[in-house]
Homo-oligomer: A and B are copies of this chain.
């Protein structure tokens, strides 16, 4: 089987992640990589330096390449690279939200004319599947509204301002120190990054071209610690919300801070996590969330697009959706599993209940994390509630059998497994 040949433009954070995840793929092979500086020290396993080139257009035009991955970002020279790649018959996978928001219309038209695809799952919401679900599973819906947190930097700042009751200025400085915000944070904190993403997201949701210049964007720089406090008192959180909705025949797309009810699922999307709520008919409300940026989450989406395309090269319908599997799983029995446990025991008002518990748990290799004895009940018994550390299910079952035989134990009320 010949491997599908891939050209990679950019070997920075995202590019390295993509390379590492594709290096041993049986179906696809990166044959050429465009970089700014070939001699720059890189610590990437399996990287063959002879594949590096500074001549980016030679990659875009290389007739041996089937799919071009662009992960340099920005409009120039990405625009020309992608146009050239499409014109020379390649499919394109990109993470470039700015380029798509500014020139998507032209590029998608070119792709259509060339019967080639531009896939860009990584451009919106990093590792979260959003574009594919909207274009496939949800394609029968009339989407009426998208409410989203699409920028990790600002969500991190707002989360910290909230939990630490800190000012915008000091939180930004801390975020810059930790690498969550750039030295020039304008693109994030003024809402431009979220504006690019919601523009493309609303284009595919409403199936109409959205003019970036008509999308209102307001950042988070004016939010005060006092506002956070007031919002909390009133039952809200403050988030930078990217909103897109149908209003009559018109489309309303904008990015600005909002007080959002604590009951709304987006109010619980914290730190650098992103979240997208999609409301449509017939589906109702669907919420997708996960890591919105970073080397590996972004690589996950790039590779998902690449492999979805790769599967199509054999000409079968949606081959990637086949569910035939050769291997039969070796299954772990419930008795072999490890869990934490919650146990509620009804005990007689005797001496020795806690002693019995301690002894039986100890020789079954079970550690106790929390123990709580509640006061006596009218029948002269008491409920003892325990949460254990992680232990084997079969040890716990033995312990329960032994406990049931103890004089002081009247009944095991409940045994429920626990997860954090």
| Chain A residues within 8 Å of B, Cβ to Cβ | 17, 21-22, 91, 104-105, 108-109, 111-112, 115, 117-119, 121, 127-129, 131-133, 135-141, 147, 202-204, 206-211, 214-216, 222-224, 226-227, 230-231, 233-234, 236, 238, 241, 247, 249-254, 256-261, 263-265, 268, 280-291, 294-297, 299-301, 303-309, 312-313, 315-318, 320-325, 327-334, 336-337, 342, 344, 370, 372, 383, 385, 387, 413-414, 416-420
Contact = CB atoms under 8 A, between A and B. Distances in A.
B117 A322 contact: yes
Contact of A231 (B290, B309, B342): B342
Contact of A329 (B104, B251, B309, B324): B251
A299 B282 contact: yes
Contacts of A223: 414, 416
A337 B252 contact: yes
B252 A332 contact: yes
A258 B416 contact: yes
A326 to B, nearest CB: 8
Count of identical protomers in the assembly: 2
A137 B132 contact: yes
A136 B129 contact: yes
B231 A320 contact: no
A9 B252 CA distance: 40
Contacts of A129: 129, 132-133, 136-138, 286, 288
A337 B137 contact: no
B209 A329 contact: yes
A184 to B, nearest CB: 25
A343 to B, nearest CB: 10
19 contacts: A129-B132, A129-B136, A140-B306, A206-B329, A208-B328, A208-B329, A210-B329, A223-B414, A251-B329, A251-B330, A256-B416, A258-B419, A282-B295, A282-B300, A284-B290, A284-B294, A284-B296, A287-B289, A308-B321
B241 A300 contact: no
A109 to B, nearest CB: 6
Q: Among A226, A325, A336, find the residue whose CB has the most chain B CB atoms closer than 10 A.
A: A325
A282 B258 contact: no
Contacts of A249: 330
A332 B247 contact: yes
A231 B180 CA distance: 35
A322 B118 CA distance: 8
Given A300-B141, A301-B137, A330 B414 contact: no
A264 to B, nearest CB: 7
Contacts of A238: 416
A193 to B, nearest CB: 19
A308 B304 contact: no
B331 A253 contact: yes
Contact of A419 (B109, B115, B264, B372): B264
A285 B274 CA distance: 11
A300 B138 contact: yes
B127 A132 contact: no
A334 B216 contact: yes
Given A129-B129, A251-B332, A325-B208, A282 B21 contact: yes
A207 B379 CA distance: 54
Contacts of A139: 303-304, 307-308, 320
Contacts of A344: 224, 226-227, 230
B224 A320 contact: no
Contacts of A135: 320-321
A132 B140 CA distance: 14
A402 to B, nearest CB: 20
